[in-house]
Amino acid sequence: MARSLNKVQLIGNLTRDPELRYTPSGSAVCTFGIATNRTWTTDSGEKREEVDFHNIVAWRKLAELCSQFLTKGRKVYVEGRLSTRSWTGQDGQQKSRTEVVIDDMILLDNRQSGSGQQASRSEDSEESEPEVHEEQQTKPKKEVKKEEKEPEESADEEVAPDDIPF
């Protein structure tokens, strides 16, 4: 039996913000567009550029992630399969559309907007804050307990300057 392969890999920039919708059964579906560029030199030495536009569809959790992290202009890698669907439009005409149904997506650039960079910084500070916060909560409790016990045992002791850690 002969094998077949339907695989698409694209690297391009988003042409529009993703649109997230839900099917009646509750599955998330996200659609967006990607533009890919191709440059070449003609026989006469003239540089030419061609742009192709691709319709992208993501489903379920990947759809929600695409909606959350992608914005117009971002560079992205997507991988999936080609799918062509046909339907009859409201005007009675037969219509078809070829889309790339993706199962993988990788962001290839840093966040472009200033608010994105601020969000990145706030995420970093949020990650480190709980650790600091936990340490601040646990240390005083331990110190309070130690202070309650230690003053009775070592009330007369003095701290030598060499014992100070800073």
pLDDT in tens, 24-76: 999 999 999 999 999 999 999 999 999 999 999 999 999 999 999 999 999 99
Residue 166 has pLDDT above 90, yes or no: no
Distance, in Å, from the CA atom of 69 to the CA atom of 105, rounded to the nearest integer, reads: 11
Q: Which residues make beta-bridge pairs with 22?
A: 28
Spell 67-76 as b/e; 16+ CB within 10 A means b.
Answer: beebeeebeb
Let me know whether 47 and 78 are in one domain: yes
Let me know whether 17 and 56 are in one domain: yes
In a domain? residue 163 = no
| pLDDT tens track for 10-28 | 999 999 999 999 999 999 9
Structural domain harbouring 15: 8-109
In a domain? residue 3 = no
Residue 5 has pLDDT above 90, yes or no: yes
Residue 65 CA: distances (Å) to CA of 55, 60, 79, 80, 160: 17, 9, 15, 16, 57
In a domain? residue 61 = yes
Section 123-136 average pLDDT: 34
Residue 135 has pLDDT above 50, yes or no: no
Residue 88 has pLDDT above 70, yes or no: yes
In a domain? residue 164 = no
For 28, left (φ over 0), alpha (ψ -120 to 50), or beta?
beta
Residue 125 has pLDDT above 80, yes or no: no
Let me know whether 116 and 105 are in one domain: no
In a domain? residue 36 = yes
Q: What is the pLDDT of residue 110?
A: 79
Distance, in Å, from the CA atom of 55 to the CA atom of 67, rounded to the nearest integer, reads: 15
Confidence band (pLDDT; 50, 70, 90) for 107?
very high
pTM of the model: 0.62
> Which of residues 134 and 152 earns the better pLDDT score?
152
Summary mean pLDDT of the chain: 76
> If you search the block for the tokens 């569809």, which residue do you land on?
57
